[in-house]
């Protein structure tokens, strides 16, 4: 399989659109504009990008950013092996060479020096300098840069700079509206729509506690986990405690409040 084919999304991912984001993304891609997807964790940002890569039939290279990540992790580095030193492209370089959509998930987590390497890729230059190698890559015409971030839990220190933000078009995601979210759960975990609606109710109760003891509400991802456990035969209350409550709080009062919400729904 050639390098490009291995990054293609082979099977259509299930993605429930919320508004006109699919058409808007297509327009951004047609102009090769960089895209930023903002929103809380587990609300469908990555699934959306995966779906768009499939729809546009372009390779997708996803990088989960973390605080130890440096520019070299993205761009590449020299490796020492038996034959001497050998250059190894990083994921961003590979994406620029083969014409992939490069999705930098939670980009603010990465060290500041990473923004320096993405800047020239996001303007008319569409270039990537490999300083250590002394090479300047012109991005493939199909290349597009996409970043995600969660504005909720960014400290001021970690917020993206305006000079970076203003290089992107942006989508603002949030947890789907109740009936849409129930549809997602029922499709993803193959559960009865009535059960999905009950799970969404618990999700909404938790989201109301955001800012009142909870930093983040229950994500769609966790609701899918609960639905999957129930589908697998776990008793609904146990599944909800395990998938929806215990992961998100260490506070006994909040935990009891949410457990109580589960008891009233099931």
Residues that bind ligand ADP (CB under 6 A): 14-16, 39, 41-47, 184, 188, 220-221, 224
Q: Where do we find the tokens 């659109």?
A: 17
Q: Whose CB is nearest to ligand ADP?
A: 44
CA triplet 11, 226, 213: central angle to 5 degrees?
120
Closest contact distance (angstroms) between CB of 219 and ligand ADP is: 7
In the complex with ligand ADP, the residue whose CB is nearer, 7 or 76, is 7
Cα separation of 70 and 10, whole Å? Answer: 30
Nearer residue to ligand ADP within complex by CB, 45 or 167: 45
Tokens 């109740």 belong to residue: 178
Least distance (Å) between residue 228 CB and ligand ADP = 9
Helix (H) / strand (E) element for 243: namely none
Nearer residue to ligand ADP within complex by CB, 71 or 107: 107
Shortest separation between residue 45's beta carbon and ligand ADP, angstroms: 3
Residue 72: CB minimum distance to ligand ADP, A: 25
Name the residue nearer to ligand ADP (CB basis): 140 or 201: 201
Q: What Å distances lie between residue 92 and 1, 33, 101, 111, CA to CA? A: 20, 16, 9, 15
CA distance 205 to 210: 10
């Amino acid at each position: 399989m050639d390098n490009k084919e291995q990054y293609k999304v082979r099977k259509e991912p299930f993605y429930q659109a919320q508004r006109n984001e699919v058409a808007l993304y297509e327009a951004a891609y047609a102009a090769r504009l960089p895209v930023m997807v903002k929103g809380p964790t587990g609300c469908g940002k990555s699934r959306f990008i995966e779906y768009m890569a499939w729809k546009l039939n372009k390779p997708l290279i996803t990088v989960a950013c973390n605080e130890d990540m440096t520019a070299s992790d993205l761009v590449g580095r020299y490796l020492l092996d038996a034959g001497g030193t050998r250059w190894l492209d990083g994921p961003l370089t590979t994406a620029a060479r083969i014409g992939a959509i490069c999705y930098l998930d939670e980009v603010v987590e990465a060290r500041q020096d990473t923004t320096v390497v993405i800047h020239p890729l996001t303007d008319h230059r569409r270039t990537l300098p490999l300083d250590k190698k002394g090479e300047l890559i012109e991005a493939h015409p199909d290349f597009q840069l996409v970043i995600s971030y969660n504005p909720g839990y960014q400290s001021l220190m970690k917020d993206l700079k305006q000079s970076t933000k203003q290089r992107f078009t942006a989508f603002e995601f949030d947890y789907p509206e109740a009936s849409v979210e129930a549809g997602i759960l029922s499709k993803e975990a193959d559960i009865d729509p009535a059960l999905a609606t009950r799970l969404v109710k618990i999700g909404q109760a938790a989201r109301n506690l955001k800012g009142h003891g909870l930093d983040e509400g229950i994500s769609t991802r966790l609701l899918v986990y609960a639905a999957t456990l129930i589908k697998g035969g776990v008793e609904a209350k146990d599944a909800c405690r395990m998938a929806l409550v215990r992961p998100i709080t260490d506070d006994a009062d909040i935990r009891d409040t949410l457990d109580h919400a589960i008891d009233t729904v099931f």
